[in-house]
Amino acid sequence: MYQLFISGQEILLVLALALLFFGAKSIPEIARMMGKGVREFRKATNEIQREFDDASSGVKKNIHEVNNTLTKETDEIKDNIDKNTQI
């Protein structure tokens, strides 16, 4: 998990300042809005990752096909060399 370099005293200070600036009634609303923002950010990040994976799957398939073709051709060349050296 990602860890911020903030100590417990610093967190308490930030919470106390938030309480002073915004008041006790608005802090839950602010926390809700921040939670929604984080949720939307994660959703967007997951969507971008899924689109990237979808786009790269075609490239991966092409690379796999090229690899198989090259392996088959090099095996044929090896077989021909082996046959020619046995003569």
Task: Show me where the domains of the chain are located.
Answer: 10-86
pTM for this one?
Answer: 0.49
Of the candidates 77, 54, 73, which has an alpha carbon nearest to the alpha carbon of residue 65?
A: 73
CA gap 61, 64 in Å, rounded: 5
Q: Dig out the tokens for 30 from the structure.
A: 């602010």
Neighbour tally for 18: CB within 10 Å: 15
Establish how many alpha carbons lie within 13 A of residue 21's alpha carbon, considering only the half-sphere containing its beta carbon. 7
Q: What are phi and psi of 67, to 5 degrees?
A: -60, -45
Q: Dig out the tokens for 29 from the structure.
A: 């609303």
pLDDT band at residue 12, thresholds of 50, 70 and 90? Answer: confident
Q: Across all residues in the chain, what is the average pLDDT?
A: 87
| pLDDT value at residue 26 | 85
Burial of 27 (0-12, 13-18, 19+ CB in 10 A): middle
Q: What is the pLDDT of residues 25-40, one digit of tens each?
A: 888 888 899 899 999 9
Q: Does the pLDDT of residue 42 top 60, yes or no?
A: yes
